[in-house]
Structure 1
Amino acid sequence: MTPDLFSPLDMRDTTAPNRVMVSPMCQYSCEDRDGLPTDWHRVHLGSRAVGGAGIVMSEATAVEPRGRISPEDTGIWSDEHVEAWQPVTAFIAKEGSIPAIQLAHAGRKASKRRPWEGSTPVQPDSGGWETIGPSGNAWPYDGEAPPHRRMDHDDIETVIESFRTGAERALEAGFEIAEIHAAHGYLLHEFLSPATNDRTDEYGGSFEDRTRFLREVVSAVRDVWPDEKPVFVRISATDWIDDGESWTVEQSVRLARGLYEAGVDLIDVSSGGIAPASYPDEAGPNYQVPHAERIGDGTPEDLLVGAVGKITTPEQADGIVANGRADLAIVGREHLRDPYFTIRAADQLDALDRVDVPPQYDRAF
């Protein structure tokens, strides 16, 4: 039978009850700038599990302190973080969803204020820190950027090890899926894109060398993540820069093939973020779905693909899956507007018998 939005999704020995995933969305809400999730995170993520989403993914969670986007971002770099995340994952799992974590490093886009505070840089004397990246070029802020430097080989090895230990701690914290964040202009994407990677060593230049860092991170995570549990990678399929010197969909297809060989189970397909204006002027519904479809068509059949970007209606999400454009509908902002999007979708698509509506909410349906 053709899968639809409410078909289970098998990933190794993990089965999501449906094809809806809560996209990782930063909350910028750690209270003491210590990276520890709070009651906000437990309620925010837990309510989406109550709402029926098959997979509930955390925000970009830094594998080391300098990998945070803002000082208020979550982390997974200490045992204290493990303990803080455990009640969150336990509640998500209790409600029948799969708890997932996005392991991240912000690279040169780190150390800035929260969006509602202007997203301006935070200097070290105000609680910020030195940022790192493949080149010596800081993020092009209008004002003064935080201190920034080009990563040397020791830095690269340190970050790879941080992803490894972050994955180990995520497993101990109760997460069932690990996603590696290699999109949106953050550190791993900065190495992938010729627009930001001007290195001349084995981590820059050719496609093989620019993708080496990500491949080594994937290998480190896959080494410690159990064989029966899936690993995802989020990529920006294109930089949206038409200059012949940026990351393209063709390179994304080639990368996805290599990631499949390295043990990745799903490519989470987003786009843009490598530069301040690197998004299309007019981004309508499903604007990134063609990228997901192209990657799916160009890679082995059992490599799963997720589509994200302005998916707002049940019919739209169901159509993406039922028409074979992607295996997973990844829903972001609509989940902010409606934590119960999946139950509502089941109601509208006459599929309520295929979701577990909490008995406390039965009277609404």
Structure 2
Amino acid sequence: MTYIDQPFVLKNMTLKNRIVMAPMCQYAVEDNDGIPNDWHHIHYTSRAIGGTALIIVEMTNVEPRGRITNRCLGLWSDDHIPAFRRIVDAAHKQGAKIGIQIAHAGRKATDAPDAVSSSAISVTHDETSPKPHALSTEEVEATVEKFKDAINRAVKCGFDCIEIHGAHGYLIHQFHSPNINQRDDQYGLDLALFGEQIVQAARSVMPVEMPLLFRISAVEYMENGYTLEHSLAISKRYYEAGVDCFHVSTGGEGPVSVVQPGHHAAYQVPYARAFKAAFPNIPIIAVGKLEQPEIAESVLANQDADLIAIGRGMLNDPYWALHAMKQVTGHIDAPTSYIRGM
């Protein structure tokens, strides 16, 4: 028996195999408006043609100053909905499911003149670097509403699932990280509160059976960064608030002050395995250098994770899923137009 080609059911979403396209920023918006264009349409549709079961659209931001760059996607206006809906419809025609990652870059918004964060601490922790504006309590509450509004729009676009980005040093991570969050209000005294409220807000506008994913950095690599125990405790709150699946990554919080593990194949899988042990009732997505098909298959066969996410491997090969399943299983279910070439 092989695993990579097996269907998988998450609430009302049935995936035709276990392969997920990880969200990867394209920096391809042309008019500083956050609206996807032909590049995004071709980029995502080609991976759907290429056999991917679940495509997760790149980090899409809840307000203009929440973007990493001015060339990043947004969903802060109803004007964004038609272009996203076009991508969703195209993916569905190819038999793929498609989700979207909703986020706010916080202090990592490099083009924003007024970057914000949980506290006024720069990414570099350098006194000479620009410091973000520490959101007031009222501004934090307003940001939760912005997440809610963006997720409501994502539902209207027809996405099959939503992923909240709480990893890689972006705004939610900035709140649940003890090193970055030095507030003295309720959002500092309770590090999980901001993310928890966003999960609750998401659930309030999502259909009951629509899956809610959450991407988390299991550990930080900064000096005195949080450990697996911290991320599991925070994630328990997010799970209880309504998360249906964790997408487990690491790092990305700021200047690296400790030695990272080598970026060898499957280097993040031990963290996915730990999350699977801690949350046995929900699916776990593993990610990080899994583009060798036999390694991806082994992660699934060894039950280290339920789904595998491929990032750079799919930048290299839009048809990675078809090629990987052929290599692992010995057969391929390619589109009729491509069969004679595969």
Smaller-chain TM-score range? over 0.9
Residue type at the aligned position of 2:298: G
CA distance in 1, matches of 2:71, 2:128: 21
Matches within 5 A, 1:155-194: 155-194=139-178
- Counterpart of 2:55, as a letter, is V
Alignment match, 2:271: 291
| Structure 2 CA distance for aligned equivalents of residues 259 and 148 of structure 1 | 26
Contact 1:68 1:106 in 2 (8 A): yes
- Name the counterpart of 1:344: 323
* Counterpart in the other structure of 1:116: none
SS in 1 for 2:229: helix
* Counterpart pick for 1:326 among 291, 305, 308: 305
Q: Per-residue displacement from partner, 1:272-292 (whole Å, max 9, x unpaired)?
A: 011122671522111110001
Cα deviation 1:26-45 (Å, max 9, x = unaligned): 00010011100010001111
Unaligned runs of 5+ in 2: none
Distance in 2 (alpha carbons) for counterparts of 1:142 and 1:352: 54
Matches within 5 A, 1:104-183: 104-110=103-109, 112=110, 122=111, 128-140=112-124, 145=129, 148-183=132-167
CA distance in 2 between counterparts of 1:31 and 1:146 reads 27
Write out per-residue CA displacement over residues 291-322 of structure 1, whole angstroms, 9 at most, x where no aligned residue. Answer: 010111112x2211111111111111111111
Question: Unaligned regions of 5+ residues in structure 1, if any?
Answer: 113-121, 123-127
Residue 64 of structure 1, CA deviation: 1.0
TM-score normalised per structure 2? 0.95
CA distance in 2, matches of 1:183, 1:264: 15
Aligned residue pairs total 341
Letter in 2 for 1:156: V
Query: Match for residue 362 of structure 1?
Result: 339
Q: Which 10-residue stretch deviates more, 39-48 or 344-353?
A: 344-353
User: Relative to structure 1, is the Cα distance of residues 344 and 192 closer, same or farther in structure 2, using a 3 angstrom cutoff?
Assistant: same
- CA gap 1:133/1:3 in 2 versus in 1, 3 angstroms: farther
Aligned letter for 2:274?
R
* Residue of structure 2 aligned with 1:237, choices 218, 237, 252: 218
Aligned residue runs from structure 1 range 82-101, under 5 A: 82-101=81-100
State TM-score, norm by structure 1. Answer: 0.90
- Quote how far apart the aligned CAs of 1:143 are: 10
Answer yes or no: is the 8 Å Cα contact 2:81–2:154 preserved in 1. yes
Residue 281 of structure 2 corresponds to which residue in structure 1? 302
Letter in 1 for 2:119: S
1: CA distance, partners of 2:142 / 2:98? 27
Q: Is the 8 A contact 2:116 2:133 kept in 1?
A: yes
Identity between Structure 1 and Structure 2 (%): 39
The separation in 2 between residues aligned to 1:143 and 1:211, in whole angstroms, is 27
Question: CA contact under 8 A between 2:56 and 2:99: conserved in structure 1?
Answer: yes
Higher mean C-alpha deviation, range 231-240 or range 193-202? 193-202
CA contact (8 A) 2:29 2:73 kept: yes
* Contact 1:192–1:247 (8 Å) recurs in 2: no
CA drift of 1:18 comes to 0.9
Aligned-pair RMSD on alpha carbons? 1.7
CA spacing shift, 1:324–1:40, aligned 2, 3 Å:
same
